[in-house]
Amino acid sequence: MGVEEGSLLKPFLRGGLWLLLGCVGCLPSMEELGVLDSDGDGLTDSEEAELGTDPMREDTDSDGFSDAEEVAENTDPNNAHDMPYAGGWAIDACREDVESTGYEVGDIAENFALVDQFGDTVELHDFCNRVVLLKGAADT
């Protein structure tokens, strides 16, 4: 008396299907997993909550750069006056941490902003860990 192979598996397969169907409702949602990106800007809603950006707007400060682009370029996605620099100079992420130490050669000067030859506004402290030669002129 032989047992059909299929007849032994059928109850397990049916049970497995019910088990699978039963678990679909208990799986964590994208939001619960912290991977939901409601506005599609490349930052998850939970990352946006930490940054204080709007999870429903790709460009929270409306400066023309997505929140994720600003994070990648170390600019403030909540400040429309701070945006990725396109002027061609390499700038660093430590610009917020630089403090003036004096006015001798080798000291760190006070931060200030100028418009470069590309038409972009740059601040001295954007160029961390680099020697900057300033050349200026004054109208008389």
Which residues of this protein are in contact with Ca ion, per CB under 5 A? Answer: 37, 39, 41, 43, 53, 61, 63, 67, 79, 82-83
Distance of alpha carbon 95 from alpha carbon 129, whole angstroms: 10
- Which C-beta is closer to Ca ion: that of 61 or that of 126? 61
**Least gap, CB of 64 to Ca ion (angstroms):** 9
**Least gap, CB of 47 to Ca ion (angstroms):** 7
Closest-by-Cβ residue to Ca ion is: 67
- Any idea of the CA torsion for 99, 101, 104, 106, to the nearest 10 degrees? -60
**8 A C-beta contact, residue 126 and residue 90:** no
- Which C-beta is closer to Ca ion: that of 57 or that of 92? 57
- Which C-beta is closer to Ca ion: that of 65 or that of 124? 65
**8 A C-beta contact, residue 128 and residue 117:** no
